[in-house]
């Protein structure tokens, strides 16, 4: 069997970097996309030539991005698409951006990066995903299903919509042998966390600790592997029980 290819958005650090490392260990070939040219924080032997710089806010540029990806797939097959890139802008002093604080540009920016680009990228790469009978994993969040003290309204709405998009993908791509699932992290130890998270974890997470990026990466890997061959349209919570 030929080596499977995975494309992951938002690879420069955090959950994305941990996922790249795990897939490499499992023998996959990786392609990455992020806003920045190449991240020294996410180093691995072929990182530089496997990286594509693209701003996912520019939704009119997604077709061109997909074309660059296509050129890098020797057999025209994409076994996994992991939509991990996401932004969660804050207000002054790290404050939460509620409805009253969020203008049209902020809505557009967040929805384009967290949601619209995901739909368009999957659409553009659908021939390659169908050819591989591949898997899609969308990274949603616990804030898609409940109000959170730090996450803003547009971020929360984008993640709820991404969960819905995941169901739509599962429905539409299932007949082609492509599975689509989501993972919804809670409080994971990365740069995206706000001050005050420690108290929140103590109060709301039954396991009384943050999750690690490796724990998230393992679930993403599971959803892209044969082990999950009949799981389609699911959203898996990775939050130590915070959702209960």
Q: What are the residue numbers of the active site?
A: 155
Give the H/E segment covering residue 22. helix 14-25
Closer of 86 and 132 to ligand NAD (Cβ): 86
Establish if 144 lies at the interface with ligand NAD (CB under 6 A). Answer: no
d(CA 223, CA 16): 15
DSSP H or E segment with residue 52: strand 51-53
Please, what is the minimum distance in Å from the beta carbon of residue 88 to ligand NAD? 6
Cβ neighbors of 190 (< 8 A, separation 6 or more) are 13, 14, 15, 213
Binding-site member from 4, 6, 7, 14 for ligand NAD (CB under 6 A): 14
Residue closer to ligand NAD, measured from CB, 126 or 141: 141
Q: How far is the CB of 192 from ligand NAD (least distance, A)?
A: 4
Distance in Å, CB of 66 to ligand NAD, minimum: 14
Instruction: List binders of ligand NAD among 79-98 (CB under 6 A).
Output: 84-88
Q: Which of 11, 59, 205, 220 contacts ligand NAD by CB under 6 A?
A: 11
| DSSP notation for 221-239 | HHHHSGGGTT--S-EEEES
Can residue 152 be called a binding residue for ligand NAD (CB under 6 A)? Answer: no
What element of type H or E holds 16? helix 14-25
Using CB under 6 A as the binding rule, the residues of this chain from 99 to 128 that contact ligand NAD are 113
Residue 26 CB neighbour total at 10 angstroms: 12
Cβ nearer to ligand NAD, comparing 47 with 132: 47
Contacting ligand NAD (CB under 6 A), which of 187, 200, 205, 236? 187
Contact 15, 22 (CB under 8 A): no
**Coil, strand or helix at 136:** strand
Question: Which H, E and C letters describe 100-114, residue by residue?
Answer: HHCCHHHHHHHHHHH
Contact status: 188 vs ligand NAD (CB under 6 A): yes
Rg (CA), the chain: 17
User: Among 19, 141, 181, 242, which residue interacts with ligand NAD (rule: CB under 6 A)?
Assistant: 141
User: Both tokens of residue 149?
Assistant: 């003290």
Q: Is the dihedral of CA 211, 212, 218, 221 positive or negative?
A: positive
User: Token match 């920045």: residue?
Assistant: 36
Q: Which of 73, 85 has the CB closer to ligand NAD?
A: 85
- Return the number of the residue (9 or 219) whose C-beta is nearest ligand NAD: 9
219 binds ligand NAD (CB under 6 A): no
**Please, which residue, 152 or 185, has the CB nearer to ligand NAD?**
185
Residues at the interface with ligand NAD (CB under 6 A): 9-16, 34-36, 55-57, 84-88, 113, 139, 141, 185, 187-188, 190-193
């Amino acid at each position: 069997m030929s080596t499977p290819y995975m494309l992951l958005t938002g690879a420069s650090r955090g959950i994305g970097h941990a996922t790249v490392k795990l897939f490499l260990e499992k023998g996959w070939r990786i392609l990455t996309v992020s806003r920045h040219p190449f991240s020294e924080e996410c180093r691995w032997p072929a990182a530089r030539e496997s990286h594509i710089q693209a701003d996912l806010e520019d939704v009119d540029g997604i077709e061109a991005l997909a074309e660059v990806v296509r050129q890098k797939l020797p057999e025209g097959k994409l076994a996994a698409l992991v939509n991990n890139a996401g932004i969660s802008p804050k207000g002054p002093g790290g404050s939460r951006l509620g409805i009253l604080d969020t203008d049209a540009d902020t809505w557009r920016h967040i929805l384009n990066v967290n949601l619209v680009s995901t739909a368009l990228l999957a659409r553009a790469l659908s021939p390659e995903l169908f050819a591989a009978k591949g898997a899609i994993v969308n990274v949603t969040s616990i804030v898609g299903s409940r109000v959170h003290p730090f996450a803003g309204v547009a971020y929360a709405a984008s993640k709820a919509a991404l969960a819905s998009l995941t169901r739509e993908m599962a429905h539409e791509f299932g007949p082609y042998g492509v599975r689509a699932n989501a993972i919804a992290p809670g409080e994971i130890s990365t740069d995206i966390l706000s001050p005050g998270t420690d108290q929140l974890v103590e109060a709301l997470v039954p396991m009384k600790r943050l999750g690690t990026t490796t724990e998230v990466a393992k679930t993403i890997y599971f959803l892209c592997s044969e082990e999950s061959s009949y799981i389609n349209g699911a959203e898996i919570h990775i939050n130590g029980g915070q959702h209960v």
